[in-house]
Structure 1
Amino acid sequence: MARFNPSALRRRSRQAFGLAGLAGSVLRRSVGRRFPELSAEERLRMMPQRAPLAAPLTIRWNDQHIPFVEATTDADGAVGLGIVHGHLRLAQMELMRRVAYGRLSEVAGDAALEVDTLLRLVDFPRASAESLALLPPDTRAWADGFAAGISAVVAEAPLPPEFEILGVEPEPWTVEDVFAVSRLCSADYAWRVWRTLNPLRQQEDWSRLWADLVGVAAVADEDIPIGADALDEALPTAFTRTGSNAYALAGSRTKSGKPLLASDPHHIITSPNLWLIAGLRTPSVSVWGLMIPALPIFGVGRNAHGTWGGTNLHATSSELIDLSDEEVVETEARIGLRGNKEKRVTLRQSALGPVISDAKPFNMPSDTVALHWLGHRASDEFTPFYKLMRAHDWGSFEDAIDLYSLPGLNMIWAGEDGTIGKMIGAHVPRRPLETPVDLVISKAEAHAQWANLLSGKDLPQTVDPECGFVASANEEPETSPVTISLFYAADHRIKRIGTLLSARDDFTAEDLKGLQLDVYHAAADALAQDLAAIAARLGLEGPVVDALKEWDGQYRSDSPGALAFELIAEPLIDELEALSPHRIVSPYWRPFSRLTRLVDAAHADDLDAALKAAISSAEAPFAKTGTWGSLHRLRLSHPLVRIPWLGPRLPVLDFPSGGSNDTLMKSMHPFTQKEHASNFGANARFVADLADLDETYAVLLGGQDGWPGSRTMFDQVGPWRRGEQIRLPLRPESIADAFPHVTPIAPAHA
């Protein structure tokens, strides 16, 4: 029987009353509201006509609402990009800003009080003033212009309906706001791992468990709890860049003899998407790429000289530090609540960082531990990407990435001169290579490790390898002078990329688009055949066994074999854990690692018995669903669909999906026999062919626009499912032809 927890009960009650109050407020504001269908042309008529510019600028749009900004100066170009972001995603950006500052309670009331308390404790904007002081004049003008462009939308354009529905008052944007959101998007991957593993530190055999987990049990990049009952756990890391595949091929591997690059970020599956597609031309730069809303950077992109992409390094940019005998100072934060009320909360700080053990999501009930985070130090993440837009060769790319601090990234480059390369973008402490004895380190260890940081040029990199390609999929670096992280992604994706890219020397851009759809899982294929052989030896028969035997390892949506394997997996794990003679901690392993470890360790008789039970358990759900896509879905919906009375008026797309946790087309899921929707995985695709300035392509899972009712909110779903991408040309005449909708923006003083 579960132990009664009065604190948890009070917490749930407070959240329930808060959500009820929010729902009532929403009902009053949304009675009779409809979201009429709006074309891209109708939405473009909502654009501001004036902005703080030195000279007029033009924004060209295609039918998918993808913009290309044309300006006479870089600063004006930044204003144009800010206008684009505000026009397409202002409500989404307002949520990100409120999360960064811990201001959700102003909208949600008591329901968001605990998450706001956590966010105030973490304090994403803590280093704003010091970091902005580091910006060179041209970068500062760029960032200021971007914020001014967003503010022009706030001041001059109609506000998205979410503002009225939720009772949110519009506020102008500042460069400090942009920086705060950038720090929010830099949240450390390790926080998820700590949150999951910290409860084990209370166990008597923690040392053995820790040794067993490290290196094998990296909590997977899909470990993101999403749901109203887990906001305080999910939101602090929800916007960080967590997954991805990226690779570049040298001319020796391509049909044209010129390099190719492909990048497909992995993130939360939501609508609007956490990326948008945009382009820019000024006298000094021409660029296309993927941008995170509210940030003035092209995280994935292509200019006239080269192209870049990347993946999350899973670098540990934080440390948990024991505060024994350290002075702790209490500070007071005032959190505004809906209805012009206020709540005062006490936060504990130390010289080493906030006392993060006070935060419930970190699951550290008995310790006094500080969070020492690189994001609390001054650093400049805008200048590296400002320079990257102008990178013209490997040297300029390397110089730009060497300046970059966090979150840690594996960055890939391909240049028109034929050079390809991969380097780490991160500033990391000098941690020793041996595994630490605990998650929490001493103050002395922290000072020794963090006194001097290594930058990208000090860390492993590869330039023009003999194999003819470079690739990344959140893998562990092959060599490193220090410990960058203890928790990397499983190696299934990086191995698959290597196998595919090694097989040919005539790749085209269309081939790379096809590789981004790949759903083969070699290790699952091998395990399934082993299980099918055991079933045959035991004389087991039926549709589940037949589908398992015939499966080719492909997680296609129409695959019966993928379904059979997945339906067997959950009961097989349960049976093997029940039969295991040793206590293990498999819930903390990656899902597939958990399964293979149990199978490998099982006694033959135990495996036979467990497989019999698992196949029997799978028969009914297999007969009901029949294919992997019937069980495994993608569901795209606006966040407001969770609000009663309003949700039914918003569109929801639900369709079968291929892919799994460990395939190139990643689509996260638990081992389960129930229908489920993936909430994490591939959510954008980008391909660049350096043989032609006009051969750059991208597509989003969803669409560009975040305005409810907009026809471009979901219009890229069809191309996404078919493996098609939208052409993004760089030649002026090609842009004029493909982007016929023109929005002129005049200087505000004109």
Structure 2
Amino acid sequence: MALLFRWLLRLTGSTVILTALAVAAVYFLASRSLPDYSKSLEVAGLSAPVEIVRDHANVPHIFGAADRDVFFGLGYAHAQDRLWQMVTMRRTVQGRLSEVFGTRTLAVDKLMRRLDLYTLAQRSVAAQDAQTIVALEGYAAGVNARLAEINRDALGRGAPEMFLFDVPIALWQPADSLAMVKLMALEMSGQLETEVMRARSSLLLPDLARLSDLLPDAPGSGVAALPAYASLIDAPLPQFTASVALPEHPLSPFRHSAFAGASNAWAAAASRSASGGTLLANDPHLGFSAPTMWYLARLELQGGGVIGATIPGIPSVLSGRSDSLGWALTSAYVDDQDVYIEQINPENPEEYRTPDGFKPFVTRKSIIQIKDEQPVTLTLRWTDNGPVLPGTHYNLEAITPPGHVAALAWTALSPKDTTMSAGIGLMSARTVQAAIAATVSFVAPAQNLTLVDKTQIALKTIGAMPRRSVAHQSRGRMPSPGWIEANRWQGRLSYAANPEFVAPLGGILGNTNNKIVDRPFPLHISFDWGDSQRVLRWQRLMQSRQVHTRDSFIEAQLDTVSPAARTLLPLIGADLWFTGEAAPKGTPEAQRQRALALLADWNGEMNEHLPEPLLYAAWLRALQDRLIRDDLGPLADEFLHVEPLFIERVYRDVDGAAVWCDVIQSAPVETCTDMARLALDDALIWITERYGPALESLRWGDAHQATHDHPVLGKLPLLRYFVNIRQSTSGGDHTLMRGLTSGAPEAPFENVHGAGYRGVYDFADPDSSVFVTATGQSGHFLSRHYDDLGELWRRGEYIPMSLDAGLARAAAVGITHLTPD
């Protein structure tokens, strides 16, 4: 027995020692890739020395004698902090993820190859202007200098992830940066899915008028009547097809339309500013990740310094300011995608129908290499309208008749995409007029550009807008036959047709992705907009003050009052508030009365510490499901988020919309009050099962956690606790401090999409401007800068946005000197 005990003790001790050694070895190897910010380094590709001063928040301030050298420094800094993020994004747009991750990402690669974005980016290099070529080449040289340093000095392969996924890293090319822009355009596009959803819903709903309830138009006139989708296609359509999920890998850029991009931006003229200078605020919204997509940087260019938010891989400050100009971006929701149903020649499957007869597809073979598997060969097919997509993509097969395929027209599929040139030119502009002129070459993704200079404010929609015929059968709202000439695009509208507002009389401009113009088709911009609620709160906050300050703009960015909650609760609870007899404790009736009592005293603030936001969100989610489930069946699962305009139409009985309250499969005629009561009971059961019966103890923040997850390591046991960043957050789907919920059945209220960057710029005192990102500058989870900005972001705090080099040096965490080799 004693001998056995001794051997067990030895084995246990040996295991502990070996485990400790293994952990120490892993930490040593991983920490080798932590960048050293205080050093001098000789590098190839520079014409003169470059200095990178990293301020107290690890924001690089880059100084050089020529613009090319400054962009070199930005490429080097991006590669120091975000190399893994950059190479995975590049692999995504190239359709080469499966070389690293195996069959898990094959569906993503297939779709990316069919869109062929990387080839289009390569062809677009020749279309850039001279200063953009200088920026692209300098930036690529800076990235490659960091790669050379990693290889020469054995710096842990550049990132900890490289030890788990050991694959060669190709040198960075100018086309790679253009491809990053196209990838962002893909992630911010949603018109394709919206067209398909409208067509699928049209096929299920016997009364076409109900389609305007379910997918409501933004308030305002000028909306075209919709045809029934079945009337557009002279062929038998599928009676039923099961929904196919989108590729679910975290690196997939294919998102539901609700996650296709959103943002806030507002500006005040000097006449509406307490300081006497113009004001600008911006918080662009993207999916959360660790690290965040955004990276803060300052570039000291020959024309002056610029500072703000960049995206690793792209040599441009996308949202930021110089000493005389500030610029902000919000998704414009331009209808820049159309789905075409293409008829295949029954005599020759290699041809498709055009207005002039049948024509061969343009085809090309593409081979996808797969880790530990045999390669897959795809045949890519293009029509005059665009690439042919598989029927599984956004469930295109559900609206595609036999003998036909679906193709996509999209402005981002241009081989002469000059969006990058517009971005580089914008940084050189010093006035509103110069900035508007510089962005004439912007293609995709279409954005609303809010601008301020020392004296003026403006908003200009930038990006290509398709020119459609007034005879277009669906006006771009549903898929249409590709062989009918009137349905095809007729080029682009002129830049002058893009909406423009300069120096408005009221002195305030803003955009929350709301409808900005009310023009008839085909100058309509879009039939689908990204917001009908946040703008109501924004208008109230802007008009509640005669003059604004930097702090009042910050207050608006962080506002958590839901106008949807304030509108909908009195409607759906009109016949439930304070009615009924007292119910015994512990009964469903008593629980319902407690919930209603809490909501009756609530002001609509989606505060993380309150129970009411969770009660409201669960109730509305259950209610919408009850209203549409019997009409749509399984398609109801794809309506992930509550649509306030739909609920309001139903409960105000707009154009007979209250008919949604009746369950068509049941004999009794249910009222909207019945549905509201049943849905509240559903919500309370769900809440009790998840969080217990004590309603007063509920916290919205427990359900509404911001999920900054590592897209690759975030699912791994144990490691996920080191790489994922989770935060209890306020806000919701319809608040200015937007925290879009996932809608997923397992965790429907997780905060997955919001303002990864916030900036507020005051041109009375530009160096008092502030900004912040949602995580930190570093993508290395062992770095203290991996999440150091995250807690500031959660609390609604900011860091200075100064172009004062002395301030940057005063508290620098490191200074890097790059000199020509």
Q: Same fold (TM over 0.5)?
A: yes
Matched letter for residue 344 of structure 1: T
1: CA distance, partners of 2:109 / 2:630: 44
Which residue in the other structure is 1:7 paired with?
none
Shift in Å, 1:56 = 0.4
Which residue in the other structure is 1:571 paired with?
622
CA separation of 1:384 and 1:463: change in aligned 2, threshold 3 A: same
Q: State the SS of the aligned residue for 2:81.
A: helix
Which residue in the other structure is 1:193 paired with?
194
Cα distance per residue 1:369-392 (max 9 Å; x no partner) = 221222222121112111111211
Alignment of 1:344-743 (within 5 A): 344-358=377-391, 360-364=393-397, 366=400, 367-377=404-414, 378-416=416-454, 418-431=455-468, 436=475, 439-443=478-482, 450-480=489-519, 482-539=523-580, 542-577=593-628, 588=639, 591-593=642-644, 594-600=646-652, 601=658, 602=661, 606-619=671-684, 620=688, 621=691, 623=694, 626-645=698-717, 647-648=719-720, 650-669=722-741, 676-739=749-812, 741-743=814-816
Shift in Å, 1:70 = 0.6
CA separation of 1:437 and 1:181: change in aligned 2, threshold 3 A: closer
1: CA distance, partners of 2:778 / 2:672: 51
2: CA distance, partners of 1:458 / 1:243: 22
For residue 285 of structure 1, the aligned residue among 276, 291, 304 is 304
Q: What TM-score do the two structures reach when normalised by structure 2?
A: 0.80
2:264 pairs with 1:245: yes
Shift in Å, 1:321 = 2.2
- Which is worse superposed, 711-720 or 728-737? 728-737
Shift in Å, 1:608 = 2.8
Q: CA RMSD in A?
A: 3.4
Shift in Å, 1:531 = 4.2
Contact kept, 8 Å, 1:238 with 1:268, in 2: the verdict is: no
Shift in Å, 1:533 = 4.3
Matched letter for residue 809 of structure 2: A
2:181 pairs with 1:143: no
The answer for unaligned runs of 5 or more in structure 2 is 1-21, 220-242, 344-352, 581-588, 653-657, 663-668
Q: What TM-score do the two structures reach when normalised by structure 1?
A: 0.87
Cα distance per residue 1:639-669 (max 9 Å; x no partner) = 2334545634624332321111111111112
Cα distance per residue 1:85-108 (max 9 Å; x no partner) = 111111011111001110011011
Shift in Å, 1:30 = 10
Shift in Å, 1:588 = 4.3
2: CA distance, partners of 1:695 / 1:489: 31
2: CA distance, partners of 1:30 / 1:227: 39
- Which is worse superposed, 231-240 or 136-145? 231-240
CA separation of 1:595 and 1:479: change in aligned 2, threshold 3 A: closer
Shift in Å, 1:315 = 1.5
Which residue in the other structure is 1:25 paired with?
none
Shift in Å, 1:560 = 2.1
1: CA distance, partners of 2:116 / 2:540: 43
1: CA distance, partners of 2:342 / 2:630: 42
Contact kept, 8 Å, 1:184 with 1:236, in 2: the verdict is: no
CA separation of 1:587 and 1:344: change in aligned 2, threshold 3 A: closer
2: CA distance, partners of 1:347 / 1:232: 25
CA separation of 1:74 and 1:438: change in aligned 2, threshold 3 A: closer
Which residue in the other structure is 1:744 paired with?
817
Q: State the SS of the aligned residue for 2:327.
A: strand
Contact kept, 8 Å, 1:349 with 1:355, in 2: the verdict is: yes
Alignment of 1:271-310 (within 5 A): 271-310=290-329
1: CA distance, partners of 2:749 / 2:475: 38
Contact kept, 8 Å, 2:195 with 2:479, in 1: the verdict is: no
Contact kept, 8 Å, 2:141 with 2:172, in 1: the verdict is: yes
Which residue in the other structure is 2:96 paired with?
103
- Which is worse superposed, 41-50 or 71-80? 41-50
Cα distance per residue 1:540-569 (max 9 Å; x no partner) = 653211111111011011122222212322
Which residue in the other structure is 1:316 paired with?
335
Alignment of 1:106-255 (within 5 A): 106-157=99-150, 158=155, 159-187=158-186, 188-194=189-195, 196-197=197-198, 199-200=200-201, 203=204, 215-216=216-217, 230-231=248-249, 234-236=252-254, 242-255=261-274
CA separation of 1:637 and 1:112: change in aligned 2, threshold 3 A: closer
1: CA distance, partners of 2:553 / 2:33: 30
Contact kept, 8 Å, 2:292 with 2:708, in 1: the verdict is: no
Shift in Å, 1:317 = 2.0
Shift in Å, 1:169 = 1.4
Shift in Å, 1:300 = 0.4
2:156 pairs with 1:83: no
Q: State the SS of the aligned residue for 2:375.
A: strand
Cα distance per residue 1:32-54 (max 9 Å; x no partner) = 73489979996425996524110
Which residue in the other structure is 1:8 paired with?
none
Contact kept, 8 Å, 2:127 with 2:418, in 1: the verdict is: yes
- Which is worse superposed, 451-460 or 550-559? 451-460
Matched letter for residue 607 of structure 1: C
CA separation of 1:280 and 1:210: change in aligned 2, threshold 3 A: same
CA separation of 1:198 and 1:527: change in aligned 2, threshold 3 A: closer
Q: Which protein shows a greater Rg?
A: 2
2: CA distance, partners of 1:217 / 1:73: 48
Contact kept, 8 Å, 1:558 with 1:628, in 2: the verdict is: yes
Contact kept, 8 Å, 1:198 with 1:364, in 2: the verdict is: no
The answer for unaligned runs of 5 or more in structure 1 is 1-28, 219-224
1: CA distance, partners of 2:182 / 2:248: 21
Matched letter for residue 717 of structure 1: G
- Which is worse superposed, 597-606 or 374-383? 597-606
Which residue in the other structure is 1:19 paired with?
none
2: CA distance, partners of 1:232 / 1:419: 42
- Which is worse superposed, 423-432 or 601-610? 601-610
2: CA distance, partners of 1:311 / 1:674: 28
Contact kept, 8 Å, 2:329 with 2:450, in 1: the verdict is: yes
Q: State the SS of the aligned residue for 1:235.
A: coil
Contact kept, 8 Å, 1:548 with 1:565, in 2: the verdict is: yes
Q: State the SS of the aligned residue for 1:402.
A: helix
Cα distance per residue 1:288-323 (max 9 Å; x no partner) = 011111111111010111101010111222222232
Shift in Å, 1:72 = 0.8
How many residues are treated as equivalent by the alignment?
Answer: 713
Contact kept, 8 Å, 1:35 with 1:708, in 2: the verdict is: no
2: CA distance, partners of 1:107 / 1:283: 41
- Which is worse superposed, 604-613 or 663-672? 604-613
CA separation of 1:110 and 1:696: change in aligned 2, threshold 3 A: same
Shift in Å, 1:199 = 4.3
Shift in Å, 1:682 = 1.8
Contact kept, 8 Å, 1:426 with 1:455, in 2: the verdict is: no
